[in-house]
Amino acid sequence: MTPNPGETGSQAPRALVPEVSALLRCSDRAVLRLIGSGDLVASKVAGKWLVDTDSITAYLDKTSNRPRRRRQRDMAR
């Protein structure tokens, strides 16, 4: 994932469209459609889309046909 310029601890990490398309195993254009439809949360910085990684996880949880393994951090809640 790409570090954000001037990122503080309160902001979620973000990823560039090519990184997201590799993770989702789809085209860059498909990722842009997901951004346009609101399925992925993103902001455009210096002409490049930065996708919020929490929205990627939420999208995978919503569209997956099998349950995702819970992280140890999530299980502590």
* Contact predicate 40/34, CB 8 Å: yes
Per-residue pLDDT at 8: 46
Rg (CA), the chain: 13
Q: What is the pLDDT of residue 56?
A: 96
If the chain, 77 residues long, is cut into consecutive pieces of 10 residues, what is the mean pLDDT of each piece?
Answer: 52 91 96 97 96 95 76 58
Question: Domain map of the chain by residue range?
Answer: 14-63
Structural tokens at position 10: 């309160």
